[in-house]
């Protein structure tokens, strides 16, 4: 099993968002998180990525397999696409960026500064980091924002490819990714707490 979550509760800003959440994903399987804005998709993904503590519950997985990709791309506008990718490749101990660049169709503008790219191109650069990490569990937060239809379908294929290689992905998204038939759909609104009671608040500067 790639990732398993048992009766998990997470909170943000002192308010409980999700309670009693169970997720089980096997290698080669994708999970799609659904739910209205503010239901706790981002909070859940950040908790799974280890960026934020969980209130109660158990998460079973190896944190070293996890690759998180959030709303922000984490690319530097004053560096070229190549420099950005090479940096992440170095950090994750890989050395070739050409494969990932080809996969995400950004080979044509490798030597342009990221600051001159369009939002969609920038997003593709940010997502291509996934191919550089060599990690098997992808946690993706709205990965298709500002991508055009062609890029979305390219991205679909990349995810399918990743699943075929025994990877696993948990994706928060509002659009149809074409994975819905095989993927596990997790509707987070079912796990909202009955009362919106305040949990203990120890967050910084709240």
Residues at the contact surface with another protein, assessed by CB under 8 A: 46, 49-53, 64, 66-76, 78-79, 83, 86-88, 90-93, 129, 203-205
19/86 with CB nearer another protein: 86
Q: How far is the CB of 86 from another protein (least distance, A)?
A: 8
Crossing angle between the packed helical segments 149-164 and 119-133, to the nearest 10 degrees: 10
Beta carbon nearer to another protein, 62 or 187: 62
**Nearest CA-CA partner of 126 in 143, 111, 113:** 143
Of 79 and 178, which CB lies nearer to another protein in the complex structure? Answer: 79
| Helices 119-133 and 81-91, axial angle in degrees (round to 10) | 30
Q: Are 20 and 186 in contact (CB under 8 A)?
A: no
What minimum distance in Å lies between the beta carbon of 176 and another protein? 26
C-beta of 67 vs 172, nearer to another protein? 67
Q: Count the Cβ atoms, other than its own, within 10 Å of residue 48.
A: 23
**Local structure of 71: helix, strand or coil:** coil
* Smallest separation (angstroms) from another protein to the CB of 162: 17
Minimal distance, residue 179 CB to another protein, in Å = 23
Between 104 and 179, name the residue whose CB sits nearer to another protein. Answer: 104
Minimum distance, C-beta of residue 133 to another protein, in the bound complex (Å): 8
Question: 130: closest CA among 138, 118, 122?
Answer: 138
User: Cα–Cα distance between 167 and 187 in angstroms, integer?
Assistant: 22
């Amino acid at each position: 099993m790639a990732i398993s979550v048992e009766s998990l509760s997470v909170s943000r800003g002192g308010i409980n968002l999700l309670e009693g959440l169970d997720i089980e994903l096997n290698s080669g399987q994708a999970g799609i998180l659904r739910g209205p804005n503010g239901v706790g998709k981002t909070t859940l993904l950040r908790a799974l990525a280890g960026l934020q503590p969980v209130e109660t519950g158990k998460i079973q997985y190896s944190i070293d397999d996890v690759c998180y990709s959030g709303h922000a791309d984490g690319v530097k506008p004053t560096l070229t696409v190549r420099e950005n990718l090479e940096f992440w490749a170095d950090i994750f101990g890989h050395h070739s960026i050409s494969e990932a660049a080809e996969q995400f169709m950004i080979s044509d503008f490798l030597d342009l500064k990221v600051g001159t790219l369009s939002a969609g191109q920038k997003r593709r650069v940010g997502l291509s980091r996934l191919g550089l990490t060599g990690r098997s569990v992808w946690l993706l937060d709205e990965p298709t924002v500002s991508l055009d239809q062609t890029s979305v379908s390219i991205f679909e294929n990349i995810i399918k490819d990743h699943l075929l290689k025994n990877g696993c992905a948990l994706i928060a998204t509002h659009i149809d990714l074409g994975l819905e038939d095989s993927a596990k759909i997790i509707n987070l609104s079912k796990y909202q707490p009955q009362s919106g009671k305040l949990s203990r608040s120890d967050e910084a500067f709240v």
